[in-house]
Amino acid sequence: METEFPNCLKCNNGTLVPLSDYGRDGASIMYKAWVCTHPQCGFHLRIDNGEVSMGDEIGPAPIKK
Ligand SMILES: [Zn+2]
């Protein structure tokens, strides 16, 4: 069974792939972030504590505590 990922709407060349993470209690968080596979695009979308944020650059993000 193949899973199809959505095309990146910003560059139309890359594909958005989901990334998983682990929470503080060790529980896995599925699809916490989606990242464009195109190296020159860098679009990403992530979910933190129920808040969705997105950006055009990959780099250190400000940590909200
Ligand atoms: Zn893209």
Backbone dihedral region for residue 42 (phi beyond 0: left; psi -120 to 50: alpha; all else: beta): left
Asked if residue 30 is part of any domain, the answer here is: yes
Q: How far, in Å, is the centroid of ligand 1 from the Cα of 52? A: 17
Residues spanned by the domain of 43: 16-55
Asked if residue 4 is part of any domain, the answer here is: no
Q: How far, in Å, is the centroid of ligand 1 from the Cα of 34? A: 11
Reading the block at residue 36, the tokens are: 């464009």
What is the tens place of the pLDDT at every residue in 3-39? 789 999 999 999 999 988 888 888 887 878 899 999 8
The strand ranges marked E within the chain are 16-22, 28-36, 44-48, 51-55
Q: How far, in Å, is the centroid of ligand 1 from the Cα of 7? A: 8
Q: Please state whether the predicted TM-score (pTM) of the whole model is above 0.75.
A: no
Asked if residue 5 is part of any domain, the answer here is: no
Number of folded domains that form the chain? 1
Asked if residue 31 is part of any domain, the answer here is: yes
Asked if residue 28 is part of any domain, the answer here is: yes
* pLDDT of 62 above 80: no
Q: How far, in Å, is the centroid of ligand 1 from the Cα of 42? A: 6
Per-residue pLDDT, 20: 86
The residue ranking higher by pLDDT, 44 or 2, is 44
Distance CA 28, CA 21 (A): 6
